[in-house]
Structure 1
Amino acid sequence: MSNSLKPESHPFVVPNFGSKEYTSFFLAGALCCTLSHGAMTPIDVVKTRIQVDPAFKGHGFVSGTRNLIANEGASALLTGFGPTAVGYLAQGGAKFAGYEFWKKRFVQIAGDQETAVKYRTAIYLGASSIAEFFADILLTPLEATRIRLVSQRGYATGLTTGFARLAREGGVRELYAGFLPILCKQIPYAIGQFTVNEFCHETVNRAMSEDTKRTLSNTSKFGISLSCGIIAGFAAAILSQPADTLLSQINKGHGPTGSMPHRLYVLGKEAGFRGLFAGLGPRMIMTAGLVSSQFLMYDAFKTALGAPRGIEIHKAI
């Protein structure tokens, strides 16, 4: 085919996001994540206990919740709320703002719309992975504190005392003992969250005519966003579940000594396939609620803050 017959490549009109826009992205991401994760604390407490506490072995979510309330009181369901809220305030802001930044950067590297669309999967994977890596630097110490509070009854009275005790007894090394497993957990989680959500929206958009898109009611838009978020949440939970189980074990002090890869290998071998996916049911429920609510709130907060839409590189047909 001659060059004159080749389809013309069209450069993206890439928005010029500055500090104001990224501050809005950060604030919207921080608020949506701290609110959603904070609200899910009771489910996360039960999930973590099922993973690490022998007394909860064989329990499902409902029976585990009943057992926890009967033995420790209803207040036990809010154990770790402080580090959860603060940790995901920082992590959520960095993750959502980072995803917007790296997606824009990779689109610029692609150079034109056709190339960006062709490699959109790689762009989604790369943007979500890099954003999550830096966000986890902020999250890891607070996640370690949360898991200690949940898994060791009486460890501390809350965020400040728990963080101080962990830092005093183990130092930076202990605070970041779970960094590798948390990367193994959170990067697949972010990939499922952002990539699957992008493709779900693309699938829906491609199935609708332009007239239908223009006349969609707010209720329909809400339903589409909610459904896409739920599916993305299921994907995020399944992809990250094995590492989530190992992270809980590491932060409770289980497993052999030695390098982190060695400890992860031994713990994974001991747990087996079934053990690595213990607590998946309640975690899927939790994650579907987390991811779907985060996307809905993120869009609402961006609108309230006057932030622009992110870059869309969906395939049109």
Structure 2
Amino acid sequence: MTSLQSENSQNFLLICKNLGAGGVAGMVSKTTVAPLDRVKILLQAYSRHHASHGVFKGLRHIVKREGPLALYKGNGAQMVRIFPYAATQFTSFEIYKKYLDGIFGERSHVDKFIAGAAAGLTAVTLTYPLDTIRARLAFQISGEHVYTGIVHTATSIFKDEGGIRALYRGFTPTLMGMVPYAGLSFYCFEYLKYGCIKYLPGLTCRPSKQNTGGMVLTVPAKLLCGGFAGAVAQSFSYPLDVTRRRMQLAMMNPDTHHFAQGMVKTLKHIYEEHGIVRGLYRGMSINYMRAVPMVAMSFSTYELCKQIAGLDTGLKV
């Protein structure tokens, strides 16, 4: 085997390990917050069964009306989507970060924001139809099912609502929201990780097991950094997340068809009908409750998987 072939083989193995670590991280984080995810979707899109509910009342209502397993309705489709999504996002981030490293200066973290935003755009473009399918399944109430599963949902949307464009309904606000969300998530986590290792190594770090002289964050530090990153990112991108959901679910009820007319019109309709707090930021409290632990678990699991796979050699500052 030539040196070039050996290098290519090694790079391929590294990419596969990154894909696996990212996919596992996504599945763990999303399953952790699946019940809150379902309530958020029902609140965002004003399900008639949950129009007056808050977070805890909504959770109790689901369990009482549909049973405990209903809290995970749509999670199967979520797992089908999240593995390739998270695998692509984390691996893309590592690749983009490598090529952007040092462009904005050694002490700048702008490259992390750009790499994170680009990674988010890459991942969501590849997996968006699965997000639409998952939202439709999670929005259904037991006894009022329109769809029977992932394949039936996909074929029904494709045949009855306009083909591939229907599966990508709400894609524009998703792309626009992904830039601040993914960019800020990765930027904040990497910035906080750097700060912990540089200024608080005794409290937040331990030596890398790879014996490179670098430091890695402890699990509690990973969770704290990831949770803060998730809170910051969600605060900026949430109205576009609401817009995406309303567009994805617009065709499930004749009264909400006007939310399928495009991003700007949907934003306008939400604002005119419900305002900012009860419209564009509806469900924000539950979103903090789910986003903070979700992002914390995602980054923490990914970092742990990288260390187990021998990918994280530790950071030197």
TM-score normalised by the chain length of structure 2: 0.82
- In 2: Cα distance, 1:294 partner to 1:72 partner: 29
Using the TM superposition, give the Cα deviation of residue 89 of structure 1 relative to its aligned residue in structure 2, in angstroms.
0.7
Residue 28 of structure 2: which of 17, 23, 35 is its match? 35
**Equivalent residue for 2:153?**
162
Matched to 2:41, the amino acid is: T
| Equivalent in 260, 272, 275 of residue 272 of structure 1 | 275
1:230 to 2:227 alignment: yes
Measured in 2, the distance between the counterparts of 1:62 and 1:235 equals 23
Q: 1:213 to 1:32 in 2, by over 3 A?
A: closer
Residue 236 of structure 1 contacts residue 287 of structure 1 at CA under 8 Å; is this kept in 2? Answer: no
Residues 146 and 304 (structure 1), Cα distance of their counterparts in 2 relative to 1, 3 Å cut = same
Matches within 5 A, 1:4-153: 18-52=11-45, 53-107=47-101, 110=103, 115-120=104-109, 122-153=110-141
Q: What is the CA-CA distance between 1:51 and the residue it aligns to?
A: 1.4
Task: Report the Cα offset of residue 24 of structure 1.
Answer: 1.4
Percent of paired sites with the same residue: 25
1:252 shift after superposition: 1.1
Seen in structure 2, the aligned counterparts of structure 1 residues 293 and 210 have a Cα distance that, compared at 3 Å, is closer
Cα deviations by residue, 1:178-217 (Å, 9 ceiling, x for unpaired): 211222333322123211111222232332368995679x
- The Cα RMSD (Å) is 2.9
**How far off is 1:220 after superposition?**
7.6
Q: Distance in 2 between matches of 1:147 and 1:197?
A: 28
Matches within 5 A, 1:210-289: 221-253=218-250, 254=256, 255-256=258-259, 258-274=261-277, 275-289=279-293
Q: Which runs of 5+ in 1 are unaligned?
A: 1-14
CA distance in 2, matches of 1:38, 1:211: 30
Q: Who is 2:253 aligned against?
A: none
- CA deviations on 1:198-255 (whole Å, 9 max, x unpaired) are 1222232332368995679x99822211111111121232222211211111111133
Pair 1:195-2:187 in alignment: yes
Tell me, yes or no, if the aligned pair for 1:21 and 1:308 is still in contact at 8 Å.
no
**Kept in 2: contact 1:82–1:158 (CA 8 A):** no
Superposed displacement of residue 118, structure 1: 4.1
- The correspondence for 1:294, drawn from 277, 293, 298, is 298
Amino acid at match of 2:140: Q
Report the Cα distance in structure 2 between the residues aligned to 1:212 and 1:223, rounded to whole angstroms: 8
Contact map agreement 2:206 2:216 (CA 8 A) in 1? no
Inter-partner Cα distance in structure 1 for 2:260 and 2:123: 27
2:182 is matched by which residue type in structure 1?
A
CA 1:279 to 1:211, structure 2 compared with 1: closer, same or farther past 3 Å?
closer
SS class of match (1:117): coil
CA distance 1:118–1:247, change in 2 (3 Å): same
The number of residue pairs the alignment matches comes to 293
